[in-house]
């Protein structure tokens, strides 16, 4: 049995990692909630955003945290354009086609990345990489703290945006009743693209927070997107609070699993939660029955 | 009507063109014959797929050797015959590597140099044996490669068994020389391939016999993106020495996480450490890399030619990692054999390789002596990252610096 301080340290580490899982899942859950599609290109788009962060850092010397607004804005435009000009146009309103189109988009993005950037890992090393706070039981470095705080702040901001603004209302309207929203004058196609754009912008933000810790390669997206799918299922499809809480739960589960059962076996915890949730609460913790 | 005219004109042109081509071919014949005189060498490496970085490094090293040979007048005993590389991509898969050998056979190569990983090299050497093509393995450390009785298969560098034995021996000697500061050891190893687990087992047995106490053995999969828990356990164990045994990416991440969590044992020591003697690691994370020791493939740092090759590699925009100098040397080994054989005949090259006593290389191996395809003089060196350089710390005859052991606080 481990010393309580190690367990506490492991939980703290799990919460830090989990917060970024939440942010990645947030984009996924928003896109699902509004467009009712599982976006298979989510991981590839995250990877693309991370290369964007690396590019700004390596070529222009821009700090990844300062690059956040820029990358998020770029990601928004990319997501908006992708939905408006590719996914929306090719889907003909059929969900199964959208699914395949996003899968195709992901394959294209990954292979382009492999061609342009090769499989070599790229690193973004900030000068304050190892600075931070000593909690006694563990040492929290600035990239961890920044990721945690920024993830919570972005989740809160997005929740406020959806709850309070006109576009937020329109997004909720489209999510609930597509035809009804169209009848009262909402430009549904525009709202689809805005939602996809915001979901991708979340990835842009997550990319900035992940880059100082995780080396970037064309496969990096997979790691996070598989976990993000679990988070969305756990939290409930389309639920923001669910994504946040789900991310934190998965982060802690992964961390404690690794501590008690070793790095290889510990990963089983996530899959176990996935199966249990599907068996006993298919709508997720905060999901609504449809 | 117009079409018909056009066709007729085309046909006339075709006849004229054919005649012209035939004439040019006839005139150009001697030139083509000369080009055919170039000796083809097959270079098979995993230049795409997950081993892409190392495979490309290997290809670069072998091509560097070919360029150098050609620049210096080719194979002199064959009237200055030039070498021509026939490139193959194993795509990081053993079966594709074997298919590439078939292509090499069709291209009529005199010899093959390759194929970086043990798995791919095992397959390519076997396939090359079917066609009687001499095959020099550049890196692949698995001792199975040279223990299958394949007469076409040669390895110039050391194998796993020799390196591991030397790794344990050097560590014991280093510790003794420093007044035995290390008593407890923690091993972190990857467990997705036989490599990490194999090294961990060998180190555990060797060090236990020498009186060290192994207080923690921690496994992890490859790839692994988070070392927080492993480092927490290392912190709790507080061992004098940490032995990481994993591939490049995980090695770097572990070293960085240890640095972030302020875990600084008296020493970090590896055998064939993924990043422990890699210039890329030193360049990207100089602080996390400081004082890390390794027992690995290394060139003879006191050989001026080796330093020239290192400079040429850097000028070519590559890191002078083990892949480069091992592939470079493997290619030079083949060229030396061809020089002595005086022929591009595969059987004669194989014979010359088997009886080689070549000593003009850049490695710390001494004169070559081949037994069952393996160069028996091949050995690893002990390195340590000190400041901005990777220094050789043992054995004494090759050392460029004194070991910083235990590492300064």
As a whole number, the mean pLDDT across chain B is 89
Q: Please answer whether residues A249 and A46 qualify as being in contact, where contact means their C-beta atoms are separated by less than 8 angstroms.
A: no
Same domain, yes or no: B117 and B130? yes
pLDDT for B34? 43
Question: For position B132, what pLDDT does the model report?
Answer: 95
Bigger pLDDT: B20 vs A224? A224
Any domain includes B241: yes
SS3 B104: helix
Q: Is A255 on the interface with B (CB under 8 A)?
A: yes
Check residue A159 and give its pLDDT. Answer: 92
Using a CB-CB cut-off of 8 Å, the residues of chain B touching A254 are 226
Residue of B49, B229, B252 with shortest CB distance to A263: B229
B369 pLDDT more than 90: yes
Please state the rounded mean pLDDT for residues A200-210.
Answer: 95
Residues facing residue B87 across a β-bridge: B43
Mention every residue, 6+ apart, whose C-beta is less than 8 A from residue A253.
A14, A269, A270, A273
Q: pLDDT tens digits for A99-141?
A: 889 999 999 999 999 889 877 788 898 989 888 899 888 899 9
Condensed to tens digits (0 to 9), the pLDDT of residues A140-175 reads: 999 999 999 999 999 999 999 999 999 999 999 999
Q: Do B229 and A258 touch (CB under 8 A)?
A: yes
Q: Are residues B262 and B387 in the same domain?
A: yes
Check B229 against A214: CB less than 8 A apart. Answer: no
Does A7 contact chain B (CB < 8 Å)?
Answer: no
Tell me how close the Cα of B229 comes to any Cα of chain A, in angstroms: 6
Q: How big is chain B by its Cα radius of gyration, in Å?
A: 25
Place of tokens 């590439």: B100
pLDDT band at B7 (very low <50, low <70, confident <90, very high): very low
Instruction: Find the residue in B nearest to A137 (Cα).
Output: B232
Q: Answer whether A130 touches B (CB < 8 Å).
A: yes
Residue A191 has pLDDT above 70, yes or no: yes
The DSSP symbol for B81 reads B
Is B388 contained in some domain? yes
Q: Assess whether B290 and B306 both reside in one domain.
A: no
pLDDT at position B2: 41
Taking the CA of residue B257 and the nearest CA in chain A, the distance in Å comes to 9
Contact criterion met (CB below 8 Å) for B300 and B306:
yes
- How far B261 CA lies from chain A's nearest CA (Å)? 5
A19 — phi, psi (to 5°)? -60, -35
Residues B255 and B330 in one domain: no
Note down the domain range covering B172: 161-296+382-398
Both B43 and B153 in one domain: the answer is: yes
CA-CA distance, B368 to B375, in Å (whole number)? 6
Q: Give the residues across from A134 on adjacent strands.
A: A139
CB contact under 8 A, A255 and B50: no
Residue A10 CB coordination number (10 Å): 25
Range A94-128 burial, b when 16+ CB lie within 10 A, else e: eeeebeebbeebbeebbeebbeebbbebbbbbbee
Residue range B277-306, pLDDT digits in tens: 999 999 989 999 999 999 999 999 999 999
Option in A6, A125, A264 nearest B219 (CB): A264
Q: Which two tokens stand for residue B369?
A: 């002596």
The answer to whether A140 contacts chain B (CB < 8 Å) is no
Q: Is residue B173 part of a domain?
A: yes
Distance CA B79, CA B71 (A): 14
Instruction: Tell me the C-alpha distance between B382 and B178, whole Å.
Output: 16
Per-residue model confidence (pLDDT) at position B251: 94
Residue B408 lies in a domain: no
Instruction: Decide if B7 is inside a domain.
Output: no
> How many separate domains does chain B show?
2
Is B9 inside a domain boundary? Answer: no
- B58 pLDDT band, cuts 50/70/90, is very high
By the 8 A CB rule, do B281 and B252 touch? yes
Write down the pLDDT at residue A265: 85
What pLDDT was estimated at residue B208? 93
Domain match, B224 and B331 both: no
Q: Is residue B8 predicted with pLDDT exceeding 60?
A: no
- Whether residues B147 and B167 fall in one domain: no
Average pLDDT over residues A204-213: 94
Task: Enumerate the domain spans of chain A.
Answer: 24-124+131-232
CA distance B378 to B358: 12
CATH number of the domain that residue B53 is part of: 3.40.50.2300
Give yes or no: residues B132 and B256 share one domain.
no
Cα separation, A32 vs A47, in Å, equals 20
Q: Supply the pLDDT for residue A97.
A: 87
Chains A, B: CB contacts within 8 A come to: 73
pLDDT tens for A251-284 read: 999 999 999 998 888 888 888 998 999 999 988 9
User: Is A257 in contact with A265 (CB distance < 8 Å)?
Assistant: yes
- Using a CB–CB cutoff of 8 Å, tell me whether A258 touches chain B: yes
Q: Give the pLDDT band of residue B195 (cuts 50, 70, 90).
A: confident
Is A215 in Cβ contact with B249 (below 8 Å)? yes
d(CA B190, CA A36): 40
Residue B173 and residue B260 in one domain: yes
Partner B, chain A 10-69, Cβ-Cβ below 8 Å: 10, 13, 17
Closest partner CB to B249 (pick from A121, A130, A138): A121
Q: Do A118 and B52 touch (CB under 8 A)?
A: yes
**Paired tokens of A89:** 């146009």
Using the beta-carbon criterion (under 8 Å), do B284 and A139 form an inter-chain contact?
no
Higher pLDDT, A121 or B107: B107
Q: Check whether residue B234 and residue B357 sit in a common domain.
A: no
**Is A3 within 8 Å of chain B by CB?**
yes
Using pLDDT thresholds of 50, 70 and 90, give the confidence band for residue B10.
low
| pLDDT at residue number B12 | 52
Cα gap B252→A125, rounded to integer Å: 13
B287·A118 Cβ contact <8 A: no
Contact call for residues B205 and B212 (beta carbons, < 8 A): no
- Give the whole-angstrom CA distance, residue B111 versus residue A255: 51
Q: Is A210 a residue whose pLDDT tops 50?
A: yes
Our CA-based measurement puts residue A105 at a distance from the nearest CA of chain B, in whole angstroms, of: 21
In three state form, how does the secondary structure of chain A look?
CCCHHHHHHHHHHHHHHHHHHHHHHHHHHHHHHHHCCCCCCHHHHHHHHHHHHHHHHHHHCCCCCCCHHHHHHHHHHHHHHHHHHHHHHHHCCCHHHHHHHHHHHHHHHHHHHHHHHCCCCECCCCCCCCCEEECCCCEEEHHHHHHHHHHHHHHHHHHHHHHHCHHHHHHHHHHHCHHHHHHCCCCHHHHHHHHHHHHHHHHHHHHHHHCCCCCECCCHHHHHHHHHHHHHHHHCCCCHHHHHHHHHHHHHHHHHHHHHHHHHHHCHHHHHHHHHHHHHCCCCCCCCCC
User: Which residues in chain B touch residue A4, judged by CB atoms under 8 angstroms apart?
Assistant: none
By C-alpha distance, the chain B residue nearest A139 is B261
Q: Mean pLDDT throughout B64-75?
A: 95
Grade residue B24 by pLDDT with cuts at 50, 70 and 90: very low
Residue B89 lies in a domain: yes
Q: Are B290 and B260 in contact (CB under 8 A)?
A: no
Q: Do the Cβ atoms of B249 and A13 come within 8 Å?
A: no
Same-domain status, B198 and B100: no
Q: Is the peptide bond before B268 cis (omega within 30 degrees of 0)?
A: no
B219–A130 C-beta distance less than 8 A: no
Entry pTM? 0.84
Strand duo B381-386 + B293-296: pairing: antiparallel
* Residue B26 resides in a domain: no
**Could you tell me if B49 and B165 lie in one domain?**
no
Question: Which 3 state secondary structure label does DSSP give B312?
Answer: helix
pLDDT, tens digit, 9 for 90 and up, residues B298-348: 999 999 999 999 999 999 999 999 999 999 999 999 999 999 999 999 999
- Nearest alpha-carbon partner for A125 in A47, A214, A59: A214
């Amino acid at each position: 049995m481990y010393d309580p301080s190690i367990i506490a340290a492991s939980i703290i580490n799990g919460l830090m990692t989990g917060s970024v899982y939440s942010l990645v899942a947030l984009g996924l859950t928003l896109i699902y909630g509004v467009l009712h599609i599982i976006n298979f290109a989510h991981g590839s788009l995250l990877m693309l955003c991370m290369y964007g962060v690396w590019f700004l850092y390596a070529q222009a010397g821009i700090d990844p945290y300062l690059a956040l607004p820029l990358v998020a804005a770029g990601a928004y435009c990319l997501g908006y354009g992708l939905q408006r000009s590719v996914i929306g146009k090719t889907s003909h309103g059929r969900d199964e086609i959208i699914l395949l189109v996003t899968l195709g988009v992901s394959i294209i993005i990954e292979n382009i990345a492999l061609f342009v950037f090769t499989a070599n890992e790229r690193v973004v090393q900030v000068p304050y990489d190892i600075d931070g706070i000593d909690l006694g039981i563990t040492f929290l470095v600035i990239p961890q703290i920044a990721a945690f705080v920024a993830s919570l702040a972005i989740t809160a901001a997005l929740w406020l945006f959806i709850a309070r603004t006109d576009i937020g209302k329109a997004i909720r309207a489209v999510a609930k009743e597509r035809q009804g929203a169209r009848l009262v004058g909402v430009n549904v196609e525009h709202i689809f693209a805005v939602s996809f754009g915001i979901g991708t912008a979340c990835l842009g933000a997550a990319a900035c927070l992940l880059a100082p810790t995780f080396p970037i390669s064309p496969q990096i997206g997979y790691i996070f997107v598989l976990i993000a799918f679990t988070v969305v299922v756990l939290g409930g499809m389309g639920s923001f609070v669910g994504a946040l809480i789900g991310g934190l739960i998965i982060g802690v589960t992964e961390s404690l699993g690794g501590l008690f059962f070793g790095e290889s076996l510990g990963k089983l915890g996530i899959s176990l939660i996935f199966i249990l949730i599907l068996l006993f609460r298919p709508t997720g913790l905060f999901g609504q029955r449809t | 009507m117009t079409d018909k005219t056009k066709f007729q004109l085309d046909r006339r042109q075709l006849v004229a063109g054919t005649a012209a081509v035939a004439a040019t071919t006839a005139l150009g014949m001697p030139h083509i014959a000369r080009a055919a005189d170039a000796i083809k060498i097959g270079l098979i490496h995993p230049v795409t797929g997950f081993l892409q970085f190392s495979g490309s490094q290997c290809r670069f090293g072998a091509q560097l050797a070919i360029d150098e040979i050609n620049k210096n007048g080719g194979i002199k005993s064959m009237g200055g015959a030039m070498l021509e590389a026939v490139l193959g991509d194993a795509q990081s898969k053993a079966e594709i590597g074997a298919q590439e050998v078939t292509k090499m056979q069709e291209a009529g190569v005199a010899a093959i140099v390759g194929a970086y990983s043990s798995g791919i090299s095992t397959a390519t050497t076997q396939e090359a044996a079917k066609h009687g093509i001499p095959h020099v393995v550049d890196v692949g450390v698995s001792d199975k490669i040279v223990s299958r009785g394949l007469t076409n298969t040669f390895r110039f560098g050391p194998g796993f068994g020799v390196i591991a034995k030397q790794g344990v021996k050097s560590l014991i000697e280093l510790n003794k020389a420093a007044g035995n500061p290390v008593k407890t050891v923690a091993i972190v190893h990857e467990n997705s391939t036989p490599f990490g687990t194999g090294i961990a087992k060998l180190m555990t047995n060797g060090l236990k016999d020498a009186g060290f106490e192994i207080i923690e053995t921690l496994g992890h999969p490859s790839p692994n993106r988070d070392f927080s828990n492993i480092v927490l356990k290392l912190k709790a164990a507080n061992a004098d020495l940490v032995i990481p045994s994993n591939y490049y990416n995980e090695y770097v991440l572990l070293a960085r996480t240890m640095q972030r969590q302020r875990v600084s044992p008296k020493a970090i020591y590896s055998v064939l450490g993924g990043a422990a003697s890699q210039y890329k690691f030193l360049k990207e994370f100089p602080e996390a890399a400081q004082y890390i020791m390794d027992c690995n493939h290394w060139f003879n740092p006191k050989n001026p030619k080796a330093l020239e090759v290192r400079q040429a590699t850097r000028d070519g925009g590559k890191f002078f990692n083990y892949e480069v100098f091992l592939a470079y040397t493997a290619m030079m080994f083949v060229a030396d054999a061809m020089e002595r054989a005086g022929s591009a005949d595969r059987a004669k090259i194989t014979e010359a390789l088997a009886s080689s006593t070549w000593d003009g290389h850049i490695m710390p191996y001494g004169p070559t002596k081949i037994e069952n395809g393996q160069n028996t003089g091949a050995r690893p060196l002990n390195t340590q990252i000190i400041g901005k350089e990777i220094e050789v710390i043992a054995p004494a005859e090759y050392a460029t610096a004194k070991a910083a052991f235990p590492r300064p606080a």
